[in-house]
Chains A and B, each alone.
Chain A
Amino acid sequence: MALLSEKVRQEVENLLKGLKDGLKLVIFTQEFECPTCEDNRMLMEELSAISDKVRLEVFDFVSDKEKAEYYKVDKIPATVVGGKEDYGIRFYGIPGGYEFASLIHAMMIVSSKNSTLSTETKEHLKRLTKPVHIQVFVTPTCPYCPTAVQMAHEMALESPLITSDMVEATEFPHLNLKYKVFVVPKVIINETIEFAGAVPEAEFLKHVTNAGR
Chain B
Amino acid sequence: MEFILPAEMKEVPVEEAKRYDLIIIGAGPAGMTAAVYAARKKLDTLVISKNVGGQTLLAPAVETYMGYHYITGAELMRKFEEQVRQFPIALSIGDEVTTLSREDNGFSVLTSQGKNFTGKAVIIASGRRARFLNVPREKELIGRGVSYCATCDAPLFGGMEVAVIGSGNPALTAVNELITYARKIYNIVQVSVKADPVLIEKAKKSGKVEFMSGYAVKEIQGEDKVERIVITQTKGDKEVILDVGGVFIEIGATPNVEFAQDVVPLNELNEIVVDCDCKTEVAGLFAAGDVTNVPEKQIIVAAGEGAKAALSAYHYLIES
* List of B residues within 8 angstroms of A147 by Cβ: 94
Number of A-B residue pairs at CB separation under 8 A: 95
> Contact: B158 with A173, CB < 8 Å?
yes
With the chains together, A173 CA to B157 CA distance in Å?
10
- Select A170's contact among B3, B144, B149, B155, beta carbons within 8 Å: B155
Q: Is B1 an interface residue (CB 8 A)?
A: yes
- Closest CB of chain A to B52's CB: distance in Å? 9
> Contact: B152 with A169, CB < 8 Å?
no
> Contact: A181 with B8, CB < 8 Å?
no
Q: A142-B151, A183-B142, A186-B143 are in contact. Are A104 and B5 (CB under 8 A)?
A: yes
- Closest CB of chain A to B251's CB: distance in Å? 18
* List of A residues within 8 angstroms of B53 by Cβ: 143
* List of A residues within 8 angstroms of B144 by Cβ: 180, 182-183
With the chains together, A94 CA to B2 CA distance in Å?
11
> Contact: B155 with A101, CB < 8 Å?
no
> Contact: B6 with A140, CB < 8 Å?
no
With the chains together, A104 CA to B51 CA distance in Å?
19
> Contact: B143 with A3, CB < 8 Å?
no
With the chains together, A143 CA to B225 CA distance in Å?
24
With the chains together, A96 CA to B153 CA distance in Å?
16
- Closest CB of chain A to B97's CB: distance in Å? 14
Q: Is A210 an interface residue (CB 8 A)?
A: no
> Contact: A140 with B2, CB < 8 Å?
yes
Q: Is A184 an interface residue (CB 8 A)?
A: yes
> Contact: A169 with B57, CB < 8 Å?
no
Encode B185-229 as 1/0 by CB contact (under 8 A) with A: 000000000000000000000000000000000000000111000
> Contact: B152 with A143, CB < 8 Å?
yes
> Contact: A182 with B6, CB < 8 Å?
no
The stretch that binds B, out of A8-16, A81-89, A124-132, A153-161, is: A8-16
> Contact: A200 with B112, CB < 8 Å?
yes
Chain B: residues with Cβ within 8 Å of the partner, total of: 34
Encode B163-176 as 1/0 by CB contact (under 8 A) with A: 00000000000000
Within 8 A of A (CB), among B1-37: 1-6, 8
> Contact: B152 with A141, CB < 8 Å?
yes
> Contact: B246 with A182, CB < 8 Å?
yes
Q: Is A98 an interface residue (CB 8 A)?
A: yes
Q: Is A144 an interface residue (CB 8 A)?
A: yes
With the chains together, A144 CA to B145 CA distance in Å?
18
With the chains together, A169 CA to B142 CA distance in Å?
17
With the chains together, A117 CA to B155 CA distance in Å?
31
> Contact: A139 with B153, CB < 8 Å?
yes
- Select A184's contact among B3, B145, B156, B224, beta carbons within 8 Å: B156
Kindly report which residue of chain A lies nearest to residue B157, judged by CB atoms: A182
Q: Is B147 an interface residue (CB 8 A)?
A: yes
Kindly report which residue of chain A lies nearest to residue B177, judged by CB atoms: A141
With the chains together, A142 CA to B74 CA distance in Å?
10
Within 8 A of B (CB), among A74-103: 94, 96-98, 100-101
Within 8 A of B (CB), among A1-36: 3-5, 8, 11-12, 14-15
Q: Is A145 an interface residue (CB 8 A)?
A: yes
With the chains together, A150 CA to B17 CA distance in Å?
30
Kindly report which residue of chain A lies nearest to residue B54, judged by CB atoms: A143
- Select A96's contact among B1, B8, B147, B226, beta carbons within 8 Å: B1
- Closest CB of chain B to A135's CB: distance in Å? 15
> Contact: B143 with A100, CB < 8 Å?
no
Kindly report which residue of chain B lies nearest to residue A94, judged by CB atoms: B1
> Contact: B156 with A8, CB < 8 Å?
no
Kindly report which residue of chain A lies nearest to residue B57, judged by CB atoms: A143
With the chains together, A57 CA to B162 CA distance in Å?
42
With the chains together, A28 CA to B206 CA distance in Å?
38
Q: Is B71 an interface residue (CB 8 A)?
A: no
- Closest CB of chain B to A174's CB: distance in Å? 12
With the chains together, A163 CA to B57 CA distance in Å?
30
- Select A97's contact among B3, B143, B147, B226, beta carbons within 8 Å: B3
> Contact: B8 with A139, CB < 8 Å?
no
A to B CB contacts below 8 Å, 30 in the list: A3-B1, A8-B5, A97-B1, A97-B3, A97-B4, A98-B4, A100-B3, A100-B5, A101-B5, A139-B152, A140-B1, A142-B153, A143-B53, A143-B151, A143-B152, A144-B51, A169-B156, A170-B155, A170-B156, A182-B147, A182-B157, A182-B225, A182-B245, A183-B142, A183-B144, A183-B147, A183-B149, A183-B152, A186-B143, A200-B112
Which A-B residue pairs are the 10 nearest by beta carbons? Answer: A183-B143, A196-B143, A142-B152, A143-B57, A100-B3, A170-B155, A96-B1, A139-B155, A182-B145, A8-B3
Contacts A182-B157, A182-B226 known; list 12 others, CB within 8 Å. A39-B1, A96-B3, A98-B74, A101-B4, A104-B5, A139-B152, A139-B153, A141-B60, A141-B151, A143-B53, A182-B153, A184-B152
